[in-house]
């Protein structure tokens, strides 16, 4: 495992310098791009000797400073831009300033303290995810520079938001790419001994912030849950790759006749059932454990029909290398899901693969629907909510797409 730096600020005058190669395009960095790839940086012995998470001043090939970066020598993303001011000190006060900016936006947008507080680069904290659940915050420090300064980040988080419990979730795949461990821990306060009730779109969700997937709940689909819920009044709803019942519970809250949640993880389905029970609608929710593709095939063989079908799979195309295979998987989902939609019903297809942009995803979805012999109207395209802002210079921050179709007779 790569050695990380100690949890202390560094004086700007003491910082090492890392430099772009002569043929690297410094304009992208100057115009806001937050990442420097290993192939674009001079990796001499001094650079390679830096500890993961070290701070450094980034210069262009002409030795002109570009900003203050966090460096992980063994990572493909070797440097992440932290501050354009090379004299900045990365300490608790610096974290508080970034958190305050993010906090003010969320407090303006949401009536209750349940949201994504920090969305990595878009909120000025590269590689850092923070989700808030009332008085509890779950932090994913997926970059070495942040992991090395986690106590300062935790203290700043408590100071700005007033949360009394901070949990570090170390399960993210990106941590392995940074040479970081997978040990989660409670950084402040006392962790809950039961799943938390989270109100959203009129529904109640149960979030397992200690043992659940990622931070315990996905806030990004909130606006798409709401659109699907409006289509679901009186409807029979199928929520495939449901996790803790994201679309299904929102549909029930909006007056759906029934909802069936399909997922491969029984703990997630148990949380979905618990949410329905907490809403007093446990008798309207059905759960079905199994591989989603196999369940979709089985439902087709059974002749099942639903008024609203939603498929929200994991990232099938997490990188450019996996794009073609991922697009074929999205096409297959559409082909299997479309026959399950009753005439005049709705099909919602989602992708969280940043490598598959909305146009590629839409083409694959349309092919799948066509191969199923169905005609469709594309009625809406949804994205993540305002607590998941996009960084214009980083396409990866705009990963989520949701395509809404009406399937015609």
| Strand intervals (E) in 178-257 | 185-188, 196-200, 203-207, 236-240
The average pLDDT across 298-313 equals 98
The per-residue pLDDT for 343 is 96
Q: In the predicted model, is pLDDT for residue 216 greater than 60?
A: yes
Q: In the predicted model, is pLDDT for residue 130 greater than 70?
A: yes
pLDDT digits over 28-48, tens only?
A: 999 999 999 999 999 999 999
What gap in Å lies between CA 275 and CA 196, rounded to an integer?
Answer: 10
The per-residue pLDDT for 276 is 98
pLDDT digits over 240-262, tens only?
A: 999 999 999 999 999 999 999 99
* DSSP output for 311-356: E----S-SSGGGHHHHHHHHHHHHHHHGGGEEEEEEEEEEE--TTS
What gap in Å lies between CA 329 and CA 307, rounded to an integer?
Answer: 23
Nearest to 74 by CA among 171, 143, 122: 143
pLDDT averaged over the chain?
A: 95
Q: In the predicted model, is pLDDT for residue 3 greater than 60?
A: no
The per-residue pLDDT for 146 is 98
Tokens 């996905």, residue?
218
Q: Are 131 and 222 in contact (CB under 8 A)?
A: no
Interior CA angle at 56 toward 52 and 59, to 5°?
130
Burial class (CB in 10 A: 0-12, 13-18, 19+), 108: exposed
Q: Which domains does the chain show, CATH number per domain?
A: 12-83 (2.30.130.10), 92-188 (3.30.750.80), 198-408 (3.40.50.150)
This prediction's pTM: 0.93
What gap in Å lies between CA 319 and CA 396, rounded to an integer?
Answer: 10
The per-residue pLDDT for 8 is 45
Q: In the predicted model, is pLDDT for residue 7 greater than 70?
A: no
The per-residue pLDDT for 173 is 82
Task: Quickly count: other Cβ atoms within 10 Å of residue 190's Cβ.
Answer: 9
Q: Are 339 and 369 in contact (CB under 8 A)?
A: no
Band of residue 9 on the pLDDT scale cut at 50, 70, 90: very low
Number of DSSP helices (H) and strands (E) in the chain, helices first: 12, 19
């Amino acid at each position: 495992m790569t050695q990380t730096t100690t949890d202390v600020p560094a004086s700007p005058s003491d910082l090492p310098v890392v430099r772009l190669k002569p043929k690297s395009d410094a304009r992208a960095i100057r115009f806001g791009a937050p990442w420097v790839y290993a192939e674009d940086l001079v990796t001499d012995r001094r650079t390679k000797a830096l500890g993961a998470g070290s701070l450094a001043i980034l210069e262009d090939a002409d030795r002109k400073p570009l900003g203050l970066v966090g460096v992980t020598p063994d990572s493909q993303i070797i440097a992440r831009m932290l501050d354009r001011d090379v004299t900045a000190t990365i300490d608790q006060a610096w974290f508080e300033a970034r958190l305050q900016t993010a906090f003010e936006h969320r407090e303006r947008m949401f009536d209750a303290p349940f949201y994504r507080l920090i969305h990595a680069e878009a909120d000025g904290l590269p590689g850092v995810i923070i989700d808030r659940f009332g008085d509890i915050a779950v932090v994913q420090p997926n970059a070495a520079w942040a992991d090395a300064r986690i106590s300062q980040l935790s203290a700043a988080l408590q100071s700005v938001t007033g949360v009394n419990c901070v949990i570090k979730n170390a399960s993210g795949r990106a941590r392995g790419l940074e040479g970081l461990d997978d040990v989660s821990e409670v950084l402040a306060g006392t962790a809950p001994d039961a799943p938390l009730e989270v109100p959203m779109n009129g529904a109640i969700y149960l979030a397992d912030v200690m043992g659940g997937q990622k931070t315990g709940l996905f806030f990004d689909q909130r606006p798409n849950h709401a659109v699907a819920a409006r289509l679901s009044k009186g409807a029979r709803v199928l929520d495939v790759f449901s996790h803790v019942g994201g679309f299904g519970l929102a549909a029930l809250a909006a007056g759906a006749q029934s909802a069936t949640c399909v997922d491969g993880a029984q703990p997630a389905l148990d949380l979905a059932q618990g949410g329905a029970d907490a809403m007093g609608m446990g008798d309207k929710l059905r759960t079905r454990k199994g591989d989603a593709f196999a369940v979709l095939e089985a439902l087709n063989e059974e002749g099942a029909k639903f008024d609203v079908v939603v498929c929200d799979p994991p990232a099938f195309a997490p990188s450019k290398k996996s794009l073609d295979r991922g697009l074929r998987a999205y096409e297959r989902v559409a082909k299997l899901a479309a026959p399950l939609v009753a005439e005049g019903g709705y099909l919602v297809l989602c992708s969280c693969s940043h490598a598959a942009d909305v146009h590629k995803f839409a083409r694959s979805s349309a092919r799948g629907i066509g191969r199923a012999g169905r005609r469709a109207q594309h009625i809406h395209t949804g994205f993540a909510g305002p607590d998941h802002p996009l960084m214009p210079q980083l396409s990866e921050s705009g990963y989520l797409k949701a395509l809404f179709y009406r399937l015609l007779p």
